[in-house]
Chains A and B, each alone.
Chain A
Amino acid sequence: MSPLHLLEIKNLTKHFGGLAAVDNISFQADEGEIIGIIGPNGAGKTTLFNLISGFLKPDSGTMKLRGENITGLEPHKIVNKGIARTFQVVRPFRHLPVIANVMVALRSPRGARKIEWLKTIERKAADLLEDVGLSEMMLEPAENMGHGTLKRLEMARALATEPDLLMLDEPFGGLNPLETDFLTKSLMRMHLDEPTRCILIVEHKLYALMKIVSRVVVLHQGEKIAEGTPEEIAQNDRVIEVYMGKGIQDA
C-alpha cells in the first residue's frame, strides 16, 4: 500500500454550463511541500481552490485528505479538517478591527473562562499579525486598510485556523515589490517554523513564486498540462507555448 498523501485529488471536474473550468485534474500534495499552481487567466486555478475548499461541489472526481474522503463536505467542515484558503479578491470583515478579523478564525479553547479566552485568543491573533507584519495596525478597522494590508490580513486569518494545508490565491496580487519581498520572507519563515505544513500558491508573479516553491502544477483551460520542479517547468515546451505562444503567433 502506498503511503497516504496529505491531499490527493483524482479526476476532479467542474463544468460551468458548457465550459470545463476544471477538467479531469489529478495531483497529490505531501506534508512540507510548497506547490505553485500557475496558468494563464481563466485556466481554472481559483475554481480548483473553490473545489478543494468546499465552496463549489465537483461534478465528478474525489478529494482525499490523509486518505479520508472530503469530497462534497461543507466549507467550514473542510476548514476544521485542516484546509484553509485565502481569496483572490480580498474578503475582510469590514466592521471589525484587524485583530478581531483574525480572532474570528481562531478556535476558542474549550471550557476556558471569558477572561482567559480574551487573553489566549488575543495573544495568538497578535502573534499571527506580527508574522505578516501588521502589528502596527491591529486596532484599526479593516475597512480603513489598503489592499496590500488586506492581502496579508487574509493570510493571517487563514493561518489562524491552524491549517495543515494552506491555499493562497494570488497572495502577491496588488502588492508592491517591497511588500512582495516581505511576504516571501515571512512565507519562508513560516515554512521553517511549521515544516510539515503544505502550502499551495496560485500566482501570476512567477519570479516571486519560483523562488519559494518546490514543485509547480501548470493549468491551461481547465486541464493540467505539466507538473514538475520550477526548472523542469521553465524548460517545458508546452508551458512555453501556452505562456508565449499567443504572443509569438500574434507577432
Chain B
Amino acid sequence: MVTTYIRRAYSSFVAHVFDIPARLLAFLLFLTLLFIPFAIQNTYYLRILILANVLAIFAVSWDFLVGRTGQISLGHAIFFGIGGYITALLSSSKFFGLPIFLTIPIAILAACIIALALGIPSLRVKGPYLALVTMSFPLILAALLKWYPLNHIFKGEFGIRGLPALVPRLDWMTIGQQRVGEYYVTLILLFAASVILYKIANSKIGLVFVSILDDELASKACGINVTKYKLMGFMISGLFGALAGCIQTHLLRFANPPMFALTLSFLPVIVTFLGGLGTIYGPIVGAYIYYILDSYVLRDWLPRFLKETVGVTLPPEFDFAKLLIFTLIVLILVIKLPRGIAKFTTDKLGDLEEARDLDERGPRIWKTYKKKEKTTSTGSEPTASS
C-alpha cells in the first residue's frame, strides 16, 4: 500500500522535474541553433545571432535570480559591465596584456565577490524597493568610469579599446569563418550556462530558493539559512551575468560605459518576459525573438518598407523609440500571455500529453498533476478540502 504510493509519487515526481515537453523543445531549439551557420551565409546576420547568444546568457542569469530566487534586480547591467571592464583591463596590451582564457575566469570570480556585496541590500529590502536599490548600482559605477581623474585608466566615454578577440582570426581564416567560430563558442557557452542553471534550479537548492520566494519566515522555520541562500542566488546569477559581459567585450573588442546603461539592465527583463519568467529556456527564446525583431524587422525591413511604399525616411531618433516599442510589446504580453511565448508553447505541448494544471501566477518547479480521475479514498482518514 505504502510502496505503491511511493512509487506513484516518485514516478510523477520525476515526470515533473524532468519536464518532458520543455526538454524536447529545448533539444529541438538547440539542434536548430547548431545548424544555423549552414543556413545563413551572411556574416552580418550571423553576427546578430552571436549577440543574441550573449544576450541569452545574460537574460538566463537574470531569470534565475528573479524567477527562481525572487530577488528583483533592475541593475543587472552591473555584472555585465564589471565582467567586461575587468577582463578588458587585464587583457588590454596597454595594461596587463594577459591572455583571455585567464582574464575571463578572473573577471567572473571578481564579479562573484562583488555580487556578494550587492546581494547585501536584498537582506534588508524586498520587491520594488530592492529593484530600485539595485537599479542605482550600475549608474553609480558608470559615473565613476567617466570621472575625469580616472580617465587615464578607464578612458572615459571612449572606453578601453583594441582588446584581444574572443576567436582570433588566424591567417587562413575568412571573416565568415571567424564568425562561425564565434557563433559556436557563444552557443556552447550559452548551452553550458543554461544547463548548469537549470540543474541548480531543479536541485534541492532550487527548491530552497522557491521556498524563500514563497515565505521567508517559514523557510527559516525549516532551518534554512535565508541569508546564505539569498547571497548564493546573487553570486550564481552574477557569475553568468559577468560571463556574458566578458564574451561581449571580446566579441566587440572594447568595453565602454554603456555596458552599465539602464538599457542593458532592462534588456534581460524584456527578453525574459517575452520568453517566460522562471523557465530558464524562455529567456533564450526571448533573446532570439528580440534580436530578430530588432535587427531584421525594425532596423531592416520596416525602414525599407516605409521608404518604398509610403516614401517616409525614418529619422535616426527612431532608435530611441525601439525600447518603447519593446516595452509596449512586453506590457501587452504580461497582460495577455503572462507565461511568456516559450512557456505558453511548452504548456500547450504539455496539454497534449496530459491534463496539467497551468500556473499563471509565478514560477514553479513542480507542476501539478491534475489527476484525471480522483482516486476514491479508502480508510477513515478525514480529508479537509477547501
| Chain A positions near chain B (C-beta within 8 angstroms) | 53, 55, 74-76, 79-80, 84-87, 91-97, 99-101, 103-105, 107-108, 114, 117-119, 121-123, 126-127, 130, 133, 135-141, 144-149, 152, 157-158, 160-161, 175-176, 178-179, 182
Contact = CB atoms under 8 A, between A and B. Distances in A.
A96 B211 contact: yes
Contact of B218 (A93, A97, A108, A148): A93
Contact of B368 (A130, A140, A146): A140
Contacts of B381: 133, 136, 182
Interface in B207-259: 207-208, 210-211, 213-215, 217-226
Contact of A75 (B13, B220, B359, B366): B220
Nearest to A179: B382
Given A93-B215, A97-B366, A123-B6, A161 B382 contact: no
B215 A104 contact: no
B9 A91 contact: no
A103 B210 CA distance: 12
Contacts of A148: 382, 384
B363 interface: yes
Query: B interface, how many residues as a size bin?
Result: 35 or more
Contacts of A141: 357, 359, 364, 366, 368
Contacts of B375: 136
B211 A93 contact: yes
Contacts of B219: 93, 104
Interface in B170-228: 203-204, 207-208, 210-211, 213-215, 217-226
Given A79-B221, A80-B223, A100 B386 contact: no
B173 to A, nearest CB: 42
A144 B9 CA distance: 18
A75 to B, nearest CB: 4
A42 to B, nearest CB: 21
A119 B10 contact: yes
A122 B10 contact: yes
A169 B246 CA distance: 52
Given A108-B204, A126-B9, A96 B214 contact: yes
Given A117-B204, A136-B377, A96 B222 contact: no
Contacts of B39: none
A215 B203 CA distance: 43
A133 to B, nearest CB: 4
Top 6 A-B residue pairs of the complex, sorted by shortest distance between their CB atoms: A148-B384, A79-B223, A146-B386, A105-B222, A91-B218, A93-B214
A100 B218 CA distance: 13
A178 B382 contact: yes
A104 B224 contact: yes
B211 A104 contact: yes
B385 interface: yes
Contacts of A99: 9, 13
B208 to A, nearest CB: 6
Contacts of B225: 74, 76
A76 B9 contact: no
A97 B368 contact: yes
Given A84-B221, A114-B203, A146 B385 contact: yes
Given A91-B215, A104-B207, A130 B2 contact: yes
Contact of B221 (A75, A95, A145): A75
Contacts of A118: 10, 13-14, 17
Contacts of B327: none
Contacts of A100: 207, 365-366
A140 B203 CA distance: 20
Contact of B385 (A101, A121, A149, A160): A149
A100 B207 CA distance: 8
A146 B385 CA distance: 5
A139 to B, nearest CB: 5
A139 B368 contact: yes
Nearest to B203: A114
6 contacts: A74-B225, A79-B223, A96-B365, A99-B13, A179-B382, A182-B382
Contacts of B366: 96-97, 100, 141
Interface string B287-325: 000000000000000000000000000000000000000
A92 B384 contact: no
Interface string B318-359: 000000000000000000000000000000000000000101
Given A133-B381, A136-B377, A95 B362 contact: yes
Contacts of B213: 95
B6 A96 contact: no
B158 interface: no
Nearest to B214: A93
Contacts of A84: 221, 223
A86 B362 CA distance: 25
B369 interface: yes
Nearest to A140: B368
Nearest to A152: B384
B386 to A, nearest CB: 4
A122 B357 contact: no
A104 B383 CA distance: 23
Contacts of A79: 220-223
B95 interface: no
Contacts of B385: 146, 149
